[in-house]
Chain A
Amino acid sequence: MLKVTTISRSFGDHRVLDRVSFDVRPGRMTGFLGANGSGKTTTMRIILGVLAPQGGSVTWNGAPVTQPVRQRFGYMPEERGLYPKMKVAEQIVWLARLHGLTEEQANTNTSRLLEQLELTARADDKLEALSLGNQQRVQVAAALVHEPDALILDEPFSGLDPIAVETVLAVLRERAAAGVPVLFSSHQLAVVERLCDDVVILSGGTIAAAGARDELRAQYGSARFQLVVGADAGWLRDHPGVRIVDLDGPRVVFDLTDTNGGRVDQQVLAAALRRGEVRSFAPVVPSLDEIFKEVI
């Protein structure tokens, strides 16, 4: 497990991170969210040792992250970059060897990964000859080629077309399923929502929320329900313990004003069934988008 404990960092007088702590658990995809300038990239750079923290620590399976440990991490920096004049396959093989693989392993992994990312045809082209989207895929390959023990990806989906997002997603899922902790930041909340098991939300250099996605939803969800009946649902206005959020003919969204009382939702359902047809009745789960807006 990758554990970040109370790390802080300032640039000049500007405090970018203030005692930030969170875990990246093995076999789980952890989404890292935050507004621009909230400190996501700085956190990732500290995990990778590119920046030194001013206080706090980063540990891997309980031991401090040292250079040999870090060599087994996979990193995709926010600002992309590879050698423009080097051939694609040659470059990935070289990076794999830099991560400690033998030449044979490096060659095998490279051709498999290029195949998976649909880049085999471009293997012998110089990187600069590829389209930006394809360069982005090569960047993914560079982060994954050494079968890293942990993956730290800064905005891995930016600049990818929807098909490429799926391709990259499949590769990342495969790694997570193999027990690798994956930390990735993204602005595309819908992608994070669909993809991640855990969520860390950073705001102004501190942790605003962290935990399993579903627990966060339950935590930040109010007791809100949506009911759709056969006829007009206006009668609900007069029901005790209920506040209407939105009413539109047969469809109504309401909050329970008395959450301690418990059974009010069931009373509403029973009342609706007495009046006729009920097409749907379900709790409204907040989207990550809503949680995000609420906590930052």
Chain B
Amino acid sequence: MASSSFSSATRLVAEREIKATLGTKGFWIGLGVIVAGIFAFSILPTVFGNGPDKVAAVGPEVSRVLAGADLEVREVADVAAAEELVRSEEVDAAIVPDDSGDSPGGVRVVALDNAPDDIVAQLSVAPPVDLLDPAAVGQGERQVVIMVFAVLFLMFGVGGIAIAQSTVTEKQTRIVEILVATIPVRALLAGKIVGHALLTLGQVVVVAVATPIALGIGGQAELLKVMAPALGWFVPFLCLGFVLLAAMWAVTGSLVSRQEDLGSTTGVVMMLVMGPYFAVMFFSDNATVMTVLSYVPFSAAIAMPVRLFANEAQVWEPLAALGLLAASVVLIVLLASRVYSGSLLQTGTRVRLTKAWAHAD
């Protein structure tokens, strides 16, 4: 009887949280920004980037040299005309004959203010390269994946502040007294965490559906293929990581009595969300730091999937990190529920953590 009323109370609270959040504009704007960002990230480089470089060529000799290169060639009459085109930036560079003997190809490259390395490379003869220990993924792809995971974690982590806001609303309007008189405080906390975790999961699903579509349109199906396994690990890490943060967000809300005071308590949790984001961004090349970060519960959600993506982690490692994360979720939720119930009915000034801890009935 008691347990069934606990679970039905939790479900009702979660339902209300979800409904209330879906009714706010901010939620839909946030989700819209994420989806738009994914599409922009996948499609824009193909639209704006990388057409072949434009060059002006002088004389038949030069045109013969350029024959095999991936360049858009405009033939002009003389060097002066070619230089004019460079100056007016209608072409990226001019290729002109060179009789001085310094150039093995017999051509000289004229550019405006920077040596056009891409074009020079096309005109050079590159020696063959053998890699003894080839990386599974390129540096560029790795950066993209780190960006995507870190930004998603940041957005959902910060989104957890909705839990703090809803808790303060209940304290500020004093409905909390009716709620506490009716259902167990822990059911109230559980309902909030479950409700917002489901909302986050729902958004993750939207992202998971939107990403392949966006990458497909952007012609980057290859990247999707290498990202898929890491993305698969990212989802459970993100969900557990969210619950961890959610419990802490709820506590920050329960310590104050007015929305205006929320800023004074959310700092610590904000740091726990931002910290991993910056740590992974800065230390992504440092294998030791990344290994540590992939086990720390707050940064595991980003660091471990990135290491998996780069093939730097053993198979058992994500499981161990997930276990560690789950254990800290249990611990933090237990601690949080005690502080939460101790501070929920205290109004007025900010409640000290120690007082809330001692006050739990």
> Which residues in B have their C-beta under 8 angstroms from that of A45?
177
Interface pair A80/B181, CB less than 8 Å apart: no
Set A70, A73, A80, A100: member contacting B174, Cβ < 8 A: A80
> Which residues in B have their C-beta under 8 angstroms from that of A85?
20, 23
A interface, over-half SS: loop
Interface pair A94/B16, CB less than 8 Å apart: yes
Instruction: Using CB atoms, name the residue of chain B closest to A72.
Output: B182
In the complex, what distance in Å separates the CA atom of A82 from the CA atom of B172? Answer: 10
In the complex, what distance in Å separates the CA atom of A287 from the CA atom of B184? Answer: 42
Q: Taking the complex as formed, is B12 at the interface, i.e. its CB lies under 8 A from any CB of chain A?
A: yes
Closest 5 pairs between A and B when the two form their complex, measured CB to CB? A81-B174, A81-B173, A48-B181, A81-B175, A52-B361
B305-329: CB near A (< 8 Å → 1, else 0) gives 0000000000000000000000000
> Which residues in B have their C-beta under 8 angstroms from that of A77?
174, 177-178, 181
> Which residues in A have their C-beta under 8 angstroms from that of B345?
50-51
Instruction: Using CB atoms, name the residue of chain A closest to B173.
Output: A81
In the complex, what distance in Å separates the CA atom of A162 from the CA atom of B184? Answer: 37
Enumerate B3-27 residues with CB–CB distance to A below 8 Å. 5, 8-9, 12-13, 16, 20, 23
Q: Taking the complex as formed, is A68 at the interface, i.e. its CB lies under 8 A from any CB of chain B?
A: yes
Categorize the interface residue count of chain A: 20 to 34
Set A50, A52, A95, A97: member contacting B177, Cβ < 8 A: A50
Chain A contact residues, CB within 8 Å of chain B: 45, 48-52, 67-68, 70-71, 73, 75, 77, 79-86, 94-95, 97-100, 142
Instruction: Using CB atoms, name the residue of chain B closest to A139.
Output: B178
In the complex, what distance in Å separates the CA atom of A52 from the CA atom of B360? Answer: 10
Instruction: Using CB atoms, name the residue of chain A closest to B13.
Output: A98
Interface pair A71/B173, CB less than 8 Å apart: no
Set B9, B169, B177, B179: member contacting A79, Cβ < 8 A: B177
In the complex, what distance in Å separates the CA atom of A81 from the CA atom of B20? Answer: 17
Set B169, B177, B182, B361: member contacting A83, Cβ < 8 A: B169
> Which residues in A have their C-beta under 8 angstroms from that of B178?
75, 77, 81-82, 95, 142
Chain B contact residues, CB within 8 Å of chain A: 1-2, 5, 8-9, 12-13, 16, 20, 23, 169-170, 173-184, 345, 361
In the complex, what distance in Å separates the CA atom of A177 from the CA atom of B312? Answer: 75
In the complex, what distance in Å separates the CA atom of A70 from the CA atom of B180? Answer: 10
In the complex, what distance in Å separates the CA atom of A50 from the CA atom of B181? Answer: 6
Instruction: Using CB atoms, name the residue of chain A closest to B1.
Output: A68
CB within 8 Å for A83 and B181 given contacts A51-B361, A71-B5, A94-B12: no
Interface pair A97/B12, CB less than 8 Å apart: yes
In the complex, what distance in Å separates the CA atom of A49 from the CA atom of B358? Answer: 18
In the complex, what distance in Å separates the CA atom of A234 from the CA atom of B257? Answer: 66
> Which residues in A have their C-beta under 8 angstroms from that of B169?
83-84
- 28 sampled A-B residue pairs with Cβ under 8 A: A48-B181, A50-B181, A50-B345, A51-B345, A51-B361, A67-B2, A67-B5, A68-B1, A68-B5, A70-B182, A75-B177, A75-B178, A75-B181, A75-B182, A77-B174, A77-B178, A79-B174, A80-B174, A81-B170, A81-B173, A81-B176, A82-B175, A82-B178, A85-B23, A94-B12, A98-B183, A100-B5, A100-B8
In the complex, what distance in Å separates the CA atom of A67 from the CA atom of B23? Answer: 32
Q: How far is the CB of A126 from chain B (nearest CB, A)?
A: 10
Q: How far is the CB of B360 from chain A (nearest CB, A)?
A: 10
In the complex, what distance in Å separates the CA atom of A81 from the CA atom of B183? Answer: 16
Interface pair A98/B174, CB less than 8 Å apart: no
> Which residues in A have their C-beta under 8 angstroms from that of B174?
77, 79-81
CB within 8 Å for A83 and B12 given contacts A50-B345, A100-B5: no
CB within 8 Å for A71 and B20 given contacts A79-B174, A83-B175, A97-B12: no
Q: How far is the CB of B10 from chain A (nearest CB, A)?
A: 11
Known contacts A67-B5, A83-B175, A95-B182; 9 further A-B pairs (Cβ under 8 A): A75-B178, A79-B174, A81-B170, A82-B175, A83-B169, A83-B170, A85-B23, A86-B16, A94-B12
Interface pair B180/A98, CB less than 8 Å apart: no
Set A50, A73, A100: member contacting B180, Cβ < 8 A: A50
CB within 8 Å for A68 and B181 given contacts A81-B176, A83-B175, A85-B20: no
Q: How far is the CB of A206 from chain B (nearest CB, A)?
A: 23
Instruction: Using CB atoms, name the residue of chain A closest to B344.
Output: A50
CB within 8 Å for A71 and B180 given contacts A77-B174, A82-B173, A83-B169: no
Set A70, A82, A97: member contacting B181, Cβ < 8 A: A70
Residue of B8, B16, B181 with most partner-chain A CB within 10 A:
B181
Interface pair A98/B173, CB less than 8 Å apart: no
Q: How far is the CB of A54 from chain B (nearest CB, A)?
A: 10
Instruction: Using CB atoms, name the residue of chain B closest to A79.
Output: B174
> Which residues in B have their C-beta under 8 angstroms from that of A49?
180-181
> Which residues in A have their C-beta under 8 angstroms from that of B13?
98
Interface pair A98/B12, CB less than 8 Å apart: yes
> Which residues in A have their C-beta under 8 angstroms from that of B1?
68
Interface pair A73/B181, CB less than 8 Å apart: yes
In the complex, what distance in Å separates the CA atom of A95 from the CA atom of B179? Answer: 9
Q: How far is the CB of A72 from chain B (nearest CB, A)?
A: 10
In the complex, what distance in Å separates the CA atom of A50 from the CA atom of B170? Answer: 15
Instruction: Using CB atoms, name the residue of chain B closest to A66.
Output: B2
> Which residues in A have their C-beta under 8 angstroms from that of B182?
70-71, 75, 95, 98-99
Q: How far is the CB of A76 from chain B (nearest CB, A)?
A: 8
> Which residues in B have their C-beta under 8 angstroms from that of A100?
5, 8
> Which residues in B have their C-beta under 8 angstroms from that of A73?
181
In the complex, what distance in Å separates the CA atom of A50 from the CA atom of B176? Answer: 10
> Which residues in B have their C-beta under 8 angstroms from that of A84?
169, 173
> Which residues in A have their C-beta under 8 angstroms from that of B12?
94, 97-98
> Which residues in A have their C-beta under 8 angstroms from that of B361?
51-52
Q: How far is the CB of A132 from chain B (nearest CB, A)?
A: 13
In the complex, what distance in Å separates the CA atom of A212 from the CA atom of B173? Answer: 36
